[in-house]
Amino acid sequence: MWTLNPEYESRRKRRIAWAVAAMLFGGSVTNYLDRAVLGVVMPQIRRDLVLTNQQYGWVVNAFLVAYMISYVLGGRLADRFGYRRVVAYAISAWSLAGMSHALVRGLGSLASVRAALGLGEAAFYPAAIAGISAWFPPKDRAKAVGLVLSALSVGTLLAVPMVAWITVRYGWRASFLATGAVGFLLLPPWRMLHRRAGEGWGAACPATRGNLSRGASTPLAFVLRTRKYWCALAARSCSDAAWYFYLFWMPGYFQEARGLSIETVGRLLWIPYLAAGVGAVAGAWFSSVLMHRGFSLDRARKAVMLPSAALGSLGALSYFAVDCRLAIAIVAVALLGHQSWSSNLHTAISEISPPEHVAVLYGMTGAAGTLMGAAAQLVIGPIVDAAGYRSVFVGAGLIYVAAAFLLVAAGRIEEIRPRAGTPRVSA
Q: Phi/psi of residue 418, each to 5°?
A: -65, 150
Entry pTM: 0.75
Question: Hey, how many other C-beta atoms are within 10 angstroms of the C-beta on 149?
Answer: 31
pLDDT (0 to 100) of residue 2: 43
Residue 417, sorted as left (phi over 0), alpha (psi -120 to 50) or beta, turns out to be beta
Domain ranges of the chain: 16-417
pLDDT (0 to 100) of residue 202: 41
Cross-strand bridge partners of residue 217: 425
Q: Which of 155, 152, 47, 63 is nearest to 101 (CA)?
A: 63
Q: Within the chain, which residues score under 50 in pLDDT?
A: 1-4, 199-215, 423-427
In the CATH scheme, what architecture does the domain 16-417 have? Up-down Bundle (1.20)
pLDDT (0 to 100) of residue 198: 52
DSSP alpha helix (H) spans, 5-137:
6-40, 42-49, 53-81, 83-100, 107-135
pLDDT (0 to 100) of residue 330: 95
pLDDT (0 to 100) of residue 215: 44
pLDDT (0 to 100) of residue 9: 62
